[in-house]
Amino acid sequence: MTQQEDKTNKLLKMKEQIDQAKSKADRLRGTLEQLEGQLKQHGVKTLAEAKKKLDQMDVELSKSEKELEQGMTELEKAYAWQ
């Protein structure tokens, strides 16, 4: 293989790598847009807002679980369930 052919092959490989990188970037942009859309559906715009909302939801869930446990305990006592 001549030097010219070697350089041509290197350039072709570089072009292929660039094309693959562009394709990957396009897929990642699409994924990002989907995730941003999901955030908007939940009324948040940023990851920080999403984390804050998730933390609030965790607190609410814990409260609900405690209320449910208390209610079950009261029912068990009231109706002698065991």
Reported as a single tens digit per residue, the pLDDT across 14-38 is: 999 999 999 999 999 999 999 999 9
Q: Helices (DSSP H) in the chain: which residue ranges?
A: 3-41, 47-78
b/e sequence 28-56, b meaning 16+ C-beta within 10 Å: eeeeeeeeeeebeeeebeeeeebeeeeee
pLDDT band at 82 (very low <50, low <70, confident <90, very high): low
pTM of the model: 0.60
Mean pLDDT (the chain) is 93
